[in-house]
Structure 1
Amino acid sequence: MDTPQPAPQLRFGVNYTPRRGWFHAWHDFDPGLAREDLAQIAALGLDHVRVFHLWPLLQPNRTVVRPAAVDQLVRLVDLAAECGLDVMVDGVQGHLSSFDFYPEWTRSWHHRNVFTDPEAIEAQAVLLRTLGRALSGHPGLLGLQLGNELNNLVEHNPVSVAEVGHYLDTLLAAARDGLGADSGLVTHSAYDAAWYGDDHPFTPQASARKGDLTTVHPWVFSADCARRYGPRSPQVRRLAEYGTELAAAYATDPVRPVWVQETGAPEPHIPAADAPGFARATLRNAAGCARLWGVTWWCSHDVDRSLADFPELEYTLGLFDSTGRPKPIAEALSETVAELRATAAPPAPRSTALVLDCTPSTRSVSGPGGAFFDAWMRLREEGVRPAVVLARQAQDAAHLTARGITELIEEKGADLARAPGR
């Protein structure tokens, strides 16, 4: 009999937002200022950062990737390593904090659909290959992600489910080609419409089956979760836990890891006084998921109010304020991370699963306000630790066995019907 192996240690990090100038700092990148920010992050006991360059600065022309901009990104990765931080690099930005950044060759009378135009797709593939080759072998590199929440660009770039599949497959292959076979993770990310949005072209299946692991961004403002249930509600404090279990249901690999890659405490959805408690509960609850890879908080530093036109919630999401002072949420996060690292026992698999029966057009039942979401939360508050299983897999004995599921519960309106696992 094989000796059971210990579970990998959970990773805890933060999405890095430069304190001075936000991501506009890339226009006049200052390694000294970046190192100050990264040292502050490391001092909290976090082990990694996720970093973002801007697409127009990296690739101002379809056939030009600027070496100087690539060198800036490599320098940031090396600075993080000097501070003891591993790094995940996002490639195509794309979308950041409500702003979309497109190179001019995709806009106006040059407009190209970034998801469907063959030359636009190839240009992004060239960018990712270039970044991968520049970053490969650098200490502390976690990997390369296609970009941040690329599905936020759908409104101005209509795309079908099949076209999304081709786009993701092409760019994931390019990123892997750039990094090499054994040089870190290759992933992609989507905001919550991929999981909860009826007929959204980025699907749960794409998120849970393409790339090396599944990333989820369980934001409390999605589907008005915090306003619907209240900022201290179980529904809010267990949202990352729920998102992890929902993502696991769509995977074909029963042990595929899930990364809570973005979660945070946006005001006024989470009042500042409630933010430390929210952070503690979110991390502790998510850590009860056997498939969790780690949690990466959004974000490191507040946006300075000298910068105009951000949605109000974007100004106060940092663990540090815009002068670099740690906020109460930073202390709460740091203490909770240390507490969780000191816990030796990994969480047990969830033997009870709630059956999710939905179509692409009824995906919203699994989001906040949906009947399935409410049933899962009700079970959780009753002391059950429910996994999620798709209806079409509920009769698959091999699938259930691989996930350790022995009991199924079906959601039928206000009623829950229990049955043994098949």
Structure 2
Amino acid sequence: MRFGVNYTPTRGWFHHWLDFAPDDIRADLDSITALGVDHIRVFPLWPLFQPNRTLIRPRAVEQLTLLVDAAGERGLDVGVDGLQGHLSSFDFVPSWTTTWHRRGLFTDPDVVEAQAAYLTTLARALADRPHFLGMTVGNEFNQFSGPPHPDPDRIGPAQAGRWLRRMLDACEKGAPGRAHLHASYDAAFHDGTHPFTPAHSARLGAMTAVHSWVFNGTAQRHGPGGAATVQHAAYLVELSKAWATGPGRPVWLQEVGAPAPHIPPERAAEFTEATIAAAADCPDLWGITWWCSHDVDRALADFPELEYGLGLFTNDRRIKPAGEAFSRGVRRWREEDPPGPAPRRTALAVDAGDEETAPARAVCAPGGAFFEAWMRLAADGVRPAVVLAQRAHDAGHLAARGITEVLTVEQVGS
């Protein structure tokens, strides 16, 4: 299993691309390496790399390769997100898609072709680096497709699927054979009206990505130390598998963090340890990538309060208790080299309606009947998997996943 961090630069946050400083980046990477991790995830800002629809800045692409090479020199593999897109409550979209040039991010032919060209360019620039993992299409780009975004580009599930396939094909064109994927925030699993679906997450790309944030109602409902809170990441990993077309598809816990005040700072280390232990007990987990490496500099304005303190390090590169806990978990895993977790024999059946669009997936959200039933099982020491109701009696499917017992929400009770 892989362990890594989402790299948040100490100097200028992701605005560091405007004042690219290799020495600062190397110092940041040195602190990250000390954690014992093996990879990072990095975030070019789309408007800075492609400020005009037909201009992808060569100097910006060169700076990305310099960052990736600096990581590789330290033994760190690198996953690169392309369309940024959305980060820490801020949107980063180029001027040629907004105001006087407003056009659909997912459907306008010129925009889609420009996005594809951009992803291909980044992937091609990195294709010969052995430490380049692959591209993620963008960071939670699905948030542009519907509420609560204040100005969404509304599409349907079929349009979302076509766009994702086009973007993934563009990544593959630039760097054939690498692990290219896409990443959605959890509306894809919790909101039946959202156009990006669990099937998209679990069937498109080289692996499934899940982002676990307990401020989505989980910590508010169950408290910072509740079983549901520390099992939330594991829950999303297992939930995503229900929609996979076959057993063994890898799942990347690509973002998970300890957001205050939902997780008080004095409990962040405890939460980190418990979350790692729970997620590591999920078969087929590719890796855990913590959000994030370094705190946001408080000289930068207008971030939501919780965004400033999510780092494993302070902004001046001092390790925090959560960072120490994460590093202990990494080193313990490396030193003990445990075998992969046993199959989860008991599964809870989820009925979210149509398999492709999952219109009733609200049952999977915090407070939903399925979510709460799964968490009751987990709290009782059961290691529940998840199976779609449509496959609950498919003997071949269950056997392939090692499932010997399927429960319904009604059987779990309240």
Q: Structure 1 length as normaliser, TM-score? A: 0.94
Secondary structure of 1:217's counterpart equals strand
* Residue in structure 1 matched with residue 96 of structure 2 by the alignment: 105
* Residue in structure 2 matched with residue 233 of structure 1 by the alignment: 226
Q: CA–CA distance in 2 between the matches of 1:16 and 1:202?
A: 26
For residues 287-298 of structure 1, the aligned pairs below 5 Å read 287-298=280-291
Letter aligned with residue 97 of structure 2? T
**Alpha carbons 1:100, 1:153 under 8 Å: kept:** no
Counterpart of 1:215 (choices 209, 222, 236) is 209
Q: CA–CA distance in 2 between the matches of 1:28 and 1:300?
A: 20
Q: CA–CA distance in 2 between the matches of 1:414 and 1:13?
A: 36
Counterpart of 2:300 (choices 300, 307, 310) is 307
Letter aligned with residue 308 of structure 2? Y
Counterpart of 1:340 (choices 326, 333, 340) is 333
Q: 1:368 Cα deviation (Å)?
A: 1.2
Counterpart of 1:163 (choices 138, 159, 163) is 159
* Residue in structure 1 matched with residue 373 of structure 2 by the alignment: 375
Q: 1:344 Cα deviation (Å)?
A: 2.2
For residues 11-410 of structure 1, the aligned pairs below 5 Å read 11-154=2-145, 155=149, 156-180=152-176, 182=177, 184-222=178-216, 224-341=217-334, 342-359=336-353, 360-410=358-408
- Give the stretch that moved more between structures: 231-240 or 373-382: 373-382
Q: Describe the superposition over 1:187-226 as per-residue Cα deviations: whole angstroms up to 9, x where unpaired.
A: 000001111112111100000000000000011112x111
| Pairs aligned (count) | 404
Q: CA–CA distance in 2 between the matches of 1:240 and 1:285?
A: 8
Q: Describe the superposition over 1:254-290 as per-residue Cα deviations: whole angstroms up to 9, x where unpaired.
A: 1101010000001111000000000000011100011
Q: Describe the superposition over 1:43-89 as per-residue Cα deviations: whole angstroms up to 9, x where unpaired.
A: 11011000001000111111111100111111100000111111000
Q: Describe the superposition over 1:282-324 as per-residue Cα deviations: whole angstroms up to 9, x where unpaired.
A: 0111000111111000000111111000000000000011111
- Structure 1, unaligned runs of 5 or more: 1-9, 417-422
Q: 1:118 Cα deviation (Å)?
A: 1.0
Secondary structure of 2:180's counterpart equals strand
Q: CA–CA distance in 1 between the matches of 2:339 and 2:412?
A: 35
Over the aligned positions, Cα root-mean-square deviation in angstroms equals 1.1
Q: CA–CA distance in 2 between the matches of 1:176 and 1:367?
A: 33
Letter aligned with residue 282 of structure 2? C
Letter aligned with residue 76 of structure 1? L
Secondary structure of 1:188's counterpart equals strand
Q: CA–CA distance in 2 between the matches of 1:352 and 1:210?
A: 26
Secondary structure of 2:193's counterpart equals coil
**Alpha carbons 1:149, 1:189 under 8 Å: kept:** yes
Letter aligned with residue 71 of structure 2? A
Q: 1:343 Cα deviation (Å)?
A: 3.7
- Structure 2, unaligned runs of 5 or more: none
**Alpha carbons 1:380, 1:386 under 8 Å: kept:** yes
Letter aligned with residue 399 of structure 2? T
Q: 1:340 Cα deviation (Å)?
A: 2.0
Q: CA–CA distance in 1 between the matches of 2:52 and 2:228?
A: 45
Secondary structure of 2:297's counterpart equals coil
Secondary structure of 2:114's counterpart equals helix
Q: CA–CA distance in 2 between the matches of 1:109 and 1:253?
A: 46
**Alpha carbons 1:284, 1:340 under 8 Å: kept:** no
Q: CA–CA distance in 1 between the matches of 2:144 and 2:68?
A: 27
Secondary structure of 2:242's counterpart equals helix
**Alpha carbons 2:351, 2:360 under 8 Å: kept:** no
**Alpha carbons 1:18, 1:301 under 8 Å: kept:** yes
Q: Describe the superposition over 1:6-45 as per-residue Cα deviations: whole angstroms up to 9, x where unpaired.
A: xxxx000000000011001100101110010011000110
Letter aligned with residue 375 of structure 2? M
Q: CA–CA distance in 2 between the matches of 1:119 and 1:201?
A: 21
Q: 1:253 Cα deviation (Å)?
A: 1.9
* Residue in structure 2 matched with residue 7 of structure 1 by the alignment: none
Q: CA–CA distance in 1 between the matches of 2:279 and 2:313?
A: 23
Q: 1:371 Cα deviation (Å)?
A: 1.0
Q: Describe the superposition over 1:388-421 as per-residue Cα deviations: whole angstroms up to 9, x where unpaired.
A: 00000112111111101111101128628xxxxx
Q: CA–CA distance in 1 between the matches of 2:29 and 2:153?
A: 35
Letter aligned with residue 300 of structure 1? S
Secondary structure of 1:200's counterpart equals coil
Q: CA–CA distance in 1 between the matches of 2:165 and 2:379?
A: 39
Q: Describe the superposition over 1:353-372 as per-residue Cα deviations: whole angstroms up to 9, x where unpaired.
A: 00001233321111211111
